[in-house]
């Protein structure tokens, strides 16, 4: 059964708060798939999660051109991936991303490029703009009970 949580984010600070709140629950082998249009808030959310888990703050650039940025944190390594430029799911293997699914926390922008490699246990978060500037509708979907904590209160 697919579970859904809908959140209305009035500004980037609320999106940051959501990322920080979810980050508190992350552990090795967690995969978050970030969907939405360019400029929708995917990278902002991922940056918020990463900064919440780093021991020492550092720059968190978009992986648009590098495809993958990794960060060493407690509890484990984080992979922030932007798959927009991939043309075939086989390229995911070349990046080493399939191995990272079983060892790291993975934040993946443009997950449609994964094809059949999309993990069933992943949390999908979709970002959609609305008519109000900087306002976003955020929808989280999951089937794995691992993500059921989202039904409780999040600090957003």
pLDDT tens-digit map of 25-71: 999 999 999 999 988 899 999 999 999 999 888 889 899 889 999 99
**Sole residue written with tokens 């990463």:** 50
Domain 3-145 CATH assignment equals 3.40.50.300: yes
| Confidence band, pLDDT 50/70/90 cuts, at residue 133 | confident
CA 32 to chain CA centroid, Å, is 4
Domain boundaries along the sequence of the chain: 3-145
d(Cα 111, Cα 126) in Å, to the nearest integer?
11
SS3 at position 32: strand
pLDDT for residue 31? 98
pLDDT for residue 130? 81
Give Cα separations from 17 to 10, 21, 22, 46, 81 (angstroms): 11, 6, 9, 12, 21
Question: Across 3-156, where does the E strand assignment appear?
Answer: 3-9, 31-36, 68-72, 77-82, 105-109, 123-129, 136-142
The whole-number average pLDDT for the span 120-143 is 91
The token duo for 79 is: 């992979």
Question: Across all residues in the chain, what is the average pLDDT?
Answer: 92
pTM: 0.94
For residue range 114-123, list pLDDT tens digits in order.
999 999 999 9
pLDDT for residue 132? 77
| Confidence band, pLDDT 50/70/90 cuts, at residue 152 | confident
The percent of residues above 70 in pLDDT, for the chain, comes to 97
């Amino acid at each position: 059964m697919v579970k859904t949580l809908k959140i209305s984010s009035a500004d980037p600070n609320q999106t940051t708060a959501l990322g920080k709140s979810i980050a508190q629950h992350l552990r090795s082998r967690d995969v978050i798939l970030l969907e939405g249009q360019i400029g929708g808030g995917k990278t902002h959310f991922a940056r918020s999660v990463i900064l919440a888990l780093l021991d020492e703050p550092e720059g968190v650039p978009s992986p648009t051109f590098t495809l993958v940025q990794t960060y060493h944190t407690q509890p484990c390594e984080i992979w922030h991936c932007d798959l927009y430029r991939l043309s075939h799911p086989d390229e995911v293997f070349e990046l080493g991303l399939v191995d990272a699914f079983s060892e790291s926390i993975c934040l993946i922008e443009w997950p449609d490029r994964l094809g059949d490699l999309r993990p069933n246990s992943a949390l999908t978060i979709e970002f959609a703009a609305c008519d109000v500037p900087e306002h976003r509708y955020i929808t989280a979907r999951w089937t794995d009970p691992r993500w059921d904590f989202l039904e409780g209160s999040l600090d957003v």
